[in-house]
Chains A and B, each alone.
Chain A
């Protein structure tokens, strides 16, 4: 009985011993689970990860949060990371040797708290195409990161395909061009509509600001010289992608009759980069006369229903009906 138990125990231990290494060192499977933004915010929603890093992240301490798939182990608990902004594959020897061939070496990173943190500054530093510096493209770039496990650091030799994985991260550090405004001067009492043409980039949103005098570039899509910090953001945004905003000069801009203010518009791209300001559109509040001011049957609380015109005709019609009915 005791002998049988010992045999069973040995078999079990052997099975566990054999199965563990197979499960732990399976195919390297890495996923970007979050972008640690320079603002301190951890952006883990897929939509946010896909938007990538922006100019603010470039100037701060942002990093890619890369995690191995659950239940797997990474040989040596370290990865060797290479990058390319092209379509090349960094897993081939030719792509890494010489280092400037197609891919550049980003760095080697230890597994800490079940994740690899790859600083954006390392990626930017390795890139031969500007990512964060002046000269980077307005539409941004997709960076392909190739990670190797168990192959040492800065390995330029052949690597095991099972210990290799690729992920992609987007870097867009340039804001969109200033929108072209539809008008230079607008005047009204209770509303004016500021409009602009949509930009060429996809998924742009717009921010409307106001403040200061009506001077400077106006309505030509050019950039304004005003200090953006002195401006106030217009409240009440509902559709940020709309290419016009109806503004109440009194309640929205706080203008008295006869006063004016400059209104500016900036486009914001999907990565969150705010472009240069367009404007100003000079919005003036002047006393305006609408229909209800000119129609004498209207008061401040609305117009009266007005007389029923042709009431006499109606009465005659009703009278005729009554008479006809009586004759019958």
Chain B
């Protein structure tokens, strides 16, 4: 069920990304699209993401989560906004970002006396709020014409968690940790460089990209060592 949701979401993102670029027009080249002198300022990056996230931890957390919520991985949906005011020549952009992540897991409680699951729904909700330092390496795309961007992120992760056991809230808390992410993105300007240029001229959107990211954090309840996400990103 969840994997189907993820597939649909990923497909929707892909369609949205491809739709932003129409059929290629030969007379307008990829390198022209990367003509930075003609570009509008590129200071922000925005991402909309969906992926798999499974909270993990120690002291029996993994076992308890497995027993109560099975193999659920969300999906986790997220939005990220990066402010990238600095550019390091022949490397990329540096700045800071803020992300909002949200995921919900449901499962049935179990009977104390070994009768299996009971008809009592539980909900485990995670709301992640990492503040990140961002290094966006775009030298391949800008200098060599290879439309690949590699991004690293490191920062402080705050995760808010609520656990409802049927009609009662059993837990509501916040945990802190370090946050990391490694991202690879495929810039989509090459599909239709003219359209990409128009998008910049008319809307100030410099580039759009499909992204894949591995990320994680060291927060306690609600944190996860390793998760993944697909998404659509843009810089402006």
Residue from B121, B171, B225 within 8 A of A298 (CB atoms): B171
26 A-B interface contacts by CB (under 8 A): A187-B120, A189-B120, A190-B168, A192-B166, A248-B166, A286-B113, A287-B113, A288-B120, A289-B109, A289-B110, A289-B111, A290-B109, A292-B163, A292-B170, A295-B59, A295-B64, A298-B171, A302-B172, A303-B170, A303-B173, A303-B221, A304-B173, A305-B219, A305-B220, A309-B58, A314-B218
Q: For the complex, is B122 an interface residue (Cβ under 8 Å from A)?
A: yes
- What's the tally of chain A residues with a CB closer than 8 Å to chain B? 36
Further 17 A-B residue pairs, CB within 8 A, beyond A191-B167, A291-B165: A186-B119, A187-B120, A191-B121, A246-B167, A287-B113, A288-B110, A289-B109, A289-B110, A290-B166, A291-B64, A297-B221, A302-B173, A305-B220, A306-B219, A308-B177, A308-B219, A309-B220
Q: Considering the chains assembled together, what is the distance between the CA atoms of A187 and B219 in angstroms?
A: 35
Residue from B64, B119, B220 within 8 A of A308 (CB atoms): B220
Residue from A246, A290, A294, A309 within 8 A of B60 (CB atoms): A294
Known A290-B165, A310-B178: A297·B170 in contact at CB below 8 Å:
no
What residues of chain B have their CB less than 8 Å away from a CB belonging to chain A?
A: 57-61, 63-65, 67-69, 107, 109-113, 115, 118-122, 124, 154, 161, 163, 165-168, 170-178, 218-221, 223, 225
A307-321 to B contact mask, C-beta < 8 Å, 1/0: 111110110010000
Which B residues are in CB contact (< 8 Å) with A290?
68, 109, 120, 122, 163, 165-166, 170
A157 to chain B, nearest CB (A): 69
What residues of chain A have their CB less than 8 Å away from a CB belonging to chain B?
A: 183, 186-193, 246, 248, 286-292, 294-298, 302-311, 313-314, 317
**A297 and B113 contacting across the interface, CB-CB below 8 Å:** no
Known A248-B166, A309-B218, A313-B218: A286·B118 in contact at CB below 8 Å:
yes
Which A residues are in CB contact (< 8 Å) with B65?
291, 295
Known A183-B119, A286-B115, A291-B68: A306·B61 in contact at CB below 8 Å:
yes
Q: Considering the chains assembled together, what is the distance between the CA atoms of A121 and B65 in angstroms?
A: 65
B110 to chain A, nearest CB (A): 5
Residue from B59, B163, B168 within 8 A of A306 (CB atoms): B59
Q: Considering the chains assembled together, what is the distance between the CA atoms of A52 and B107 in angstroms?
A: 45
**A288 and B112 contacting across the interface, CB-CB below 8 Å:** yes
**A286 and B163 contacting across the interface, CB-CB below 8 Å:** no
Q: Considering the chains assembled together, what is the distance between the CA atoms of A188 and B112 in angstroms?
A: 10
Closest B-chain residue to A302, C-beta based?
Answer: B171
